[in-house]
Amino acid sequence: MIAQILQELKPFNARLVAVSKTKPVGDIRKIYDLGQRIFGENRVQELMAKVDLLPEDIEWHLIGHLQRNKVKYIAPFIGMIHSVDSLELAKEINKQAARNDRRIPVLLQIRIAEEETKFGIETNKIDQFVEEMLAKNWHHLEIAGVMGMASFVDDEKQISAEFNRLKEIFDHLKSRYFEEETSFREISMGMSGDYQIALQQGSTMVRIGSLIFGARN
Ligand SMILES: *Cc1c(COP(=O)(O)O)cnc(C)c1O
């Protein structure tokens, strides 16, 4: 399955985050042995339990809601944090990255779904959010792009429109604030059920779990 997904990503030049949450290290190792290096987890405690049992050259991505008091555990090694949706969280990541003498790539999670969701920056507040972040000069953060989740619906038109919205927001931010920044380049969107639509709408990074590892309980 993963080989087929990688084939599908190629023409779009998109990368795969293999979402291994709830799956045992043995399952992750099998996918690692097929050449996959980027894995995504959504819980810090679970991530910490796995990290030491798996090869060091895995690039771990934190894809779920992150509590501020947990940032210190992952700051030494995390490859990317996809879920920055508050200034307080960004500030803490910057602080812990500084302690580890690192610069941590982060994505701004934006609320694109029509349905009610708890997390993500509102689309009408995104400019203000970015301006406040930039004013802080948090040198240990690298704003690497945006992340979003579409509604869990069957309507492909709706999903497509929501992903398109994220792409438009990315383009807007890029031209307004990050024209010169090559590091602002990622649009993290698309999961097992909707990654093909996300690719059509400009995804640079898909986060796929169940299609690779099998259904979760
Ligand atoms: C679980 C999860 C995924 C992967 O979901 P699948 O449907 O299993 O592919 C992607 N992104 C986030 C934020 C997740 O929590």
CATH number (domain holding residue 117)? 3.20.20.10
Query: pTM, whole model, 2 decimals?
Result: 0.97
- The terminus-to-terminus CA distance of the chain in angstroms comes to 20
Ligand 1, atom 7: closest residue by C-alpha: 192
Residue 115: domain span:
2-213
| Alpha carbon separation from 66 to 51, 83, 84, 85, 147 (Å, rounded) | 17, 7, 8, 9, 14
Low-confidence ranges of the chain (pLDDT < 70): none
Distance CA 155, CA 208 (A): 20
pLDDT recorded at residue 116: 81
**Residue 61 contacts residue 38 (beta carbons within 8 Å):** yes
Please tell me the total count of domains within the chain: 1
Q: Is 42 in the pocket of ligand 1 (CB under 6 A)?
A: yes
Q: Which of 30, 173, 28 is nearest to 108 (CA)?
A: 173
Q: Is 208 in the pocket of ligand 1 (CB under 6 A)?
A: yes
Backbone angles phi, psi at 84, to 5 degrees: -80, 115
Beta strands in the chain (DSSP E): 15-19, 38-41, 59-62, 80-84, 104-109, 141-147, 186-188, 205-208
pLDDT recorded at residue 74: 98
pLDDT recorded at residue 96: 98
CA of 128 to the centre of ligand 1 (A): 28
Out of 44, 62, 63, mutate this one to test ligand 1's pocket (max ligand atoms within 8 Å of CB): namely 63
User: Strand 104-109 and strand 59-62: pairing?
Assistant: unpaired
Q: Locate 15 and state its tokens.
A: 């990368």
Q: Is 47 in the pocket of ligand 1 (CB under 6 A)?
A: no
Out of 5, 19, 163, 166, mutate this one to test ligand 1's pocket (max ligand atoms within 8 Å of CB): namely 19
Distance CA 56, CA 77 (A): 10
Q: Locate 83 and state its tokens.
A: 């879920």
| Alpha carbon separation from 10 to 101, 189, 203 (Å, rounded) | 34, 16, 12
pLDDT recorded at residue 115: 84
pLDDT recorded at residue 117: 78
Distance CA 89, CA 214 (A): 32
